[in-house]
Amino acid sequence: MAYTTIDKPSDYFNTKLYTGTGSSHAITGVGFAPNWVWIKHRDEANPHKIFDTVRGVGKSIKSNSDDAEASNEENGYVSAFGSDGFTLVAGSTSSNDVNKSSGSYVSWNWNAGTSFTNDASGTGIGSIDSAGSVNTDAGFSVISYTGNGSGGATVAHGLGSTLDCYIVKSRDDGFDFRMYHKGIGATKYLNLNQTDAAGTATNAWNDTAPTSSVFSLGSGSTVNKNTSDFIAYCFAEKQGYSKFGKYTSANSHDSTFVYLGFKPSIIIFKNTSYSGGSDWHILDRTRYTFNGSSEAVLEPNTSDAENYSAFGEVDFLSNGFKIRNNNGISSGGYNHIYMAFAENPFVTSTGVPATAK
């Protein structure tokens, strides 16, 4: 059985729904002080907005765009991070990305609560200085660094466990969100803002897998442009709480079962092998609370509103997930990767089992 040290996953990840007000709006009930806040307007085709405490208030990037970081955007932003949530500024336009009056929104929130700095020359860890916020219990860190343009550069991530996934975005330039995922390995990469299948490039990760102390960078400008600032979201798998894996779809309405060791709260999927390209998909059990029907799908690489799609027919089970369609995340026998975070561990540290929805 999958025992865990995290009996209450909502202390580290939580989905919070809210209704916009069109004016300054404090969102509470997250359950912790969030360090990474990802917001999407469910009703309208507005961008996915990403905020974090390391870059600071008002500074947003968009998962569906290669745009550089923006500050205090007229379409709304996070103006403060609190002990149980965050505060929103509505913005000055009617098309409000985060707080339109009566708009329906979802926020996904992660906890990386301890400040972190690494002087690479002083510690001998990595070749580039880094700073950020780290949660070793949950295996999550938000790391800021400045590129040096050199292949083989390394950056300390602070987690003390080998990374299974990390996402890098340039703050200064219009470059893709580039992802390392152990399911495709260090010779390949994915772009969060694109539909592309996994690409191959030495200049992404220098063909070098991350370690328990650092992740590696190639010479590519997307991850390591000289003197440019970058933000990295880093994940190390924790039993009973998070998992970063892969599967091959069965192209069937009675399709793949994936064991996680926990009841998932959120799953992010990507087809990595279809050459024609495919959307990313986010499913969570806060927006859609029961199995047996199409899920409410959001796509990180598009600004599309939430849709109830056959792509999202997935059963969230006490120990994993079961795909119930032959579209999207289960079409054609392709390879897929996923990122999953728990609602409950399959078995708690005290031996109490979870139940399915």
H or E segment and range at residue 235 = strand 229-235
d(CA 141, CA 231): 10
pLDDT at 193: 98
What's the chain's average pLDDT?
92
Query: Is 324 within 8 Å of 341 (Cβ atoms)?
Result: no
Which residues face 165 on adjacent strands? 181, 235
Question: Who contacts 313 (Cβ-Cβ below 8 Å, separation ≥6)?
Answer: 253, 293, 294, 295, 323, 324, 325
d(CA 221, CA 223): 5
Question: 32-41, 206-215, 309-318: which range is least confident on average?
Answer: 309-318
Which residues face 106 on adjacent strands? 17, 40
Nearest alpha-carbon partner for 332 in 283, 273, 282: 273
pLDDT at 311: 57
| Predicted confidence (pLDDT) at residue 310 exceeds the cutoff of 60 | no
Question: Band of the pLDDT at 104, cuts 50, 70, 90?
Answer: very high
Nearest alpha-carbon partner for 172 in 225, 124, 119, 220: 225
d(CA 357, CA 355): 7
Query: Is 217 within 8 Å of 189 (Cβ atoms)?
Result: no
Nearest alpha-carbon partner for 236 in 186, 180, 189: 180
- 158-216 pLDDT, tens digit per residue, is 999 999 999 999 999 999 999 999 999 999 999 999 999 999 999 999 999 999 999 99
pLDDT at 4: 85
3-state secondary structure of 297: strand
d(CA 352, CA 343): 14
- 44-75 pLDDT, tens digit per residue, is 999 999 999 999 999 999 999 999 999 999 89
- Lookup: tokens for 278: 């495919």
pLDDT at 128: 98
3-state secondary structure of 196: coil
Query: Is 135 within 8 Å of 57 (Cβ atoms)?
Result: no
Query: Is 79 within 8 Å of 87 (Cβ atoms)?
Result: yes
Question: Who contacts 114 (Cβ-Cβ below 8 Å, separation ≥6)?
Answer: 133, 134, 135, 136
- Lookup: tokens for 201: 């490039």
- Lookup: tokens for 348: 């708690």
Give percent of the chain with pLDDT exceeding 90.
Answer: 80
- Lookup: tokens for 184: 């495709």
d(CA 120, CA 125): 5
Q: Which residue has the higher pLDDT, 68 or 91?
A: 68
Query: Is 356 within 8 Å of 263 (Cβ atoms)?
Result: yes
Question: Band of the pLDDT at 350, cuts 50, 70, 90?
Answer: low
pLDDT at 345: 85
- Lookup: tokens for 268: 């992010």
d(CA 220, CA 230): 13
Query: Is 129 within 8 Å of 51 (Cβ atoms)?
Result: no
| Predicted confidence (pLDDT) at residue 132 exceeds the cutoff of 70 | yes
pLDDT at 1: 43
Nearest alpha-carbon partner for 206 in 230, 229, 248, 178: 178
- Phi/psi of residue 122, each to 5°? -80, -40
pLDDT at 329: 73
pLDDT at 122: 98
Nearest alpha-carbon partner for 204 in 257, 166, 261: 166
